[in-house]
Amino acid sequence: MKFTEEHEWLRVEDDLVVVGITEHAAAQLGDVVFIELPDEGITVTKDEEICVIESVKAASDILAPLDGEIVEVNEALVADPSKVNEDAIGDAWFFKMKIEDLSVLDDFMDEAEYKTLVG
């Protein structure tokens, strides 16, 4: 699993990258009440705003961590956004992406580096 400075996690499953937010981000947001996910089949560019997440404390945009195509979204989160607070790095993934080169993941933080970032 890899991590971004924007508090997203990235996990490779087969030839796809699964993306969600970290437990730290979920805790900072508080109780999540709404999630707007990107459309399946769209092509996104790194750092493009593609999701909106709202909690009782704040609203935040989720940025695309990589260039690629959104091939699947987690519709269960739209129905029950609180899953983000319950299982941020498990069942509460946001979307799956197809990217050209999985080796770009080497540029992201590993778990130890991320834990240092969040202190």
Fill in the amino acid letter for 93: W
Q: Closest Cα to residue 34, out of 83, 93, 86, 72?
A: 83
Distances (CA, A) of 50 to 36, 62, 76, 87, 91: 9, 6, 17, 21, 19
Torsion of CA 81, 9, 5, 42, to 10 degrees: -70
The CATH code for residues 2-100 is 2.40.50.100
Q: What percent of the chain has pLDDT over 90?
A: 97
Residue 13: what pLDDT? 95
Cα separation, 7 vs 24, whole angstroms? 7
What are 50-87's pLDDT values in tens digits?
Answer: 999 999 988 999 999 999 999 999 999 999 999 999 99
Residue 40: what pLDDT? 97
Residue 95: what pLDDT? 97
* Annotated domain spans of the chain: 2-100
Which stretch of DSSP H or E encloses residue 50?
strand 49-55
Residue 79: what pLDDT? 95
What are 10-37's pLDDT values in tens digits?
Answer: 999 999 999 999 999 999 999 999 999 9
